[in-house]
Amino acid sequence: MAVAGVAVGQEHPDPRWRVNISPYVWAKSTEGKLQGAGLSSPIHVPFSEAFEKVEGVFMGEVSVEGARWGGYVDYQGTDSRDERRVMGLPLEADIRLRSLTGAVYYVAHEEELGGRTVHGAPRLFRIRPLAGARWSRARADLAVPGLIEVGKQAEWTDIIVGVRTDADLNARWKLTGHLDVGGFDPGDRFSLNAHASLGYRTVVLTRPALLRVGYAVLFQEYEQSDFTGDRFVWNMTGHGPTAGVSITF
């Protein structure tokens, strides 16, 4: 299982700045292509194998919100292992991915839907454009046991733009969505991050909270040549159901 974060800030009757802390889990299927130091391997880790192939995870998001402006910082870290046969040879791939995303957003459209939520705020529909950056570091260690072992690491930063939306369905339930794109150079460097979730308002640790379930997709494409002429290729798509909680302070 991998974790990833998708947290959309919560409403609160107090218009002052507030902080949302949002841990979450992403039951992710991963597929794509990995190439480094002359070795290339297709990667395919279905959801049914995610529990046994992921060796470490840590992810979460913190957001700060005011009446019109807000921002968030999201960290994702996963260590996983894949084993398969390529051209008749066993190939082992140890993959470590770290990413840190930061963005600011602005309430461009806000519409009252009537009534109030159980947390005392008006029911709203909001559209919030966002802009920021995503730093990524990918390391791949590829090995044909007994023959060759190679390692390759790359770091890159993409400017991202996107939008967040949320709509209060009733006093308890809330629908949220997020879409951002970055890189803007398909074929060498591009990313797309999208997720949607359905949230249920409750109280956690005496604070307003939103329990969420949803679905997320993250596509990353990055290619780079080093001084030896070797090509590093990171072309990965992760997708699957998500679950988490956002607690407002």
Using 50 as the pLDDT threshold, list the residues of the chain that sit under it: 1-14
- Could you tell me the pTM of the whole model? 0.82
Number of H helices, E strands in the chain: 1, 14
Distance CA 77, CA 35 (A): 20
| CA trace torsion 196, 64, 129, 189 (10° rounding) | -70
Alpha carbons 165 and 85: distance in angstroms, whole number: 43
211-230: pLDDT as tens digits: 999 999 999 998 877 655 67
Sign of CA dihedral 24, 29, 32, 33: positive
Which residues partner with 185 through β-bridges? 189
Both structure tokens of 239: 């997708």
H or E segment and range at residue 153: strand 148-168
**64-99 pLDDT tens trace:** 999 899 999 999 887 776 666 555 566 677 778 889
Q: What is the 3-state secondary structure (H, E, C) of 26-62?
A: ECCEEEEEEEECCEEEEEEECHHHHHHHEEEEEEEEE
